[in-house]
Amino acid sequence: MKTFYNKTLIIVITVFSAIGYLTSCTHDTAFLPPPASNTPNITRGNAVMLPGNMTAGNPQEWKFDKAHSSVLWSTNYVGASGLLTGRFNQFGVHNVTGSAMTNYTTTGQPLKDSSWAFYENEPNKTYFNGYVQINTSNTGEPGRDAGCNISGMGTVPIVTGVQNLTETNIAKIQTTKVEFDPVSADYIVTLNFTWTGKLSAPLTKTVVGRLKYIKKATVQFGTSAAYDVFGLVLNFQFNCRDFGITSTNVSDNIKIECNINFNNK
């Protein structure tokens, strides 16, 4: 009787083990459910931001807020080590061409910062032009900024009280296409990047960057009247060797980040 019981138990265990094995094999070879979509749920508004005549006090006309904006650069030191970083102290949002490329005796913005338009949901209407004054590159090391940076980038020292927008001292960007990024709420921007560098004449190269829209918000400080702000963040990079820069202190690629803020005060 005991022998019969043991044989029966062994058969039951074997059957259940076989069922478990077959079940596990069936699970391993089954088609898995399709993965979730990698495309986020993108929601865009219909904001339209235009400079107009940039009339103070007109809330329908957006003004470039240089005091709260920045143009930053970074590259690898000797092409491999930690980052070299800096910013440009003087920059603007204007399409500088022809006779406008000269010196201006002023401490403020030399040209009207109105060469732009932003349409949140119609990127084909969005455009912007901008420039930086190369000799205002600021790394926080005065000896370097007024020394090797000047000679290395083919420009001239700063003259106090003068904004130098001459051909050899400015680098310019001009959009040729702005389109939706299909996988984020950002925009993909095609730009013409123009700079002389160490060449004998300006060179224009096409680069592709990413534009982020910082949505409009209302702010108020102290007892001052409330006003609206919004921002645009542009990132792109270029190869400095294309512009005759031979310094081995920097790598080939220079990364640029433009943080541009506007208000309607």
Domain that holds residue 115: 48-263
User: 180: which 2 tokens?
Assistant: 């939706």
For residues 111 and 130, the answer to whether their CB atoms sit within 8 Å is no
In a domain, 36, yes or no: no
Q: What is the pLDDT of residue 41?
A: 82
Are 171 and 219 in a shared domain? Answer: yes
C-alpha span between 139 and 29 (Å, rounded): 59
The tokens for 176 are 């040729």
Query: What's the pTM value of the predicted model, to 2 decimals?
Result: 0.83
What is the Cα–Cα distance from 66 to 107, expressed in whole angstroms? 13
Q: What gap in Å lies between CA 241 and CA 19, rounded to an integer?
A: 68
Rounded Cα distance, 215 and 14, in Å: 66
- Quote the number of domains for the chain: 2
Please tell me whether residues 23 and 84 are part of one structural domain: no
Specify the pLDDT at position 40.
66
Ordered per-residue pLDDT tens for the chain, 265 residues: 545 445 444 444 444 444 444 444 444 444 445 555 465 688 899 999 999 999 999 999 999 999 999 999 999 988 677 899 999 999 999 999 999 999 999 999 999 999 999 999 999 999 999 999 999 999 999 988 988 889 889 999 999 999 999 999 999 999 999 999 999 999 999 999 999 999 999 999 999 999 999 999 999 988 889 999 999 999 999 999 999 999 888 899 999 999 999 999 9
234 assigned to some structural domain: yes
Instruction: Give Cα 72 distance to the centre of its chain.
Output: 10
Residues 18 and 147 in one domain: no
Spatial contact of 232 and 214, defined as CB atoms under 8 Å apart: yes
Same domain, 75 and 10: no
Q: Is residue 42 part of a domain?
A: no
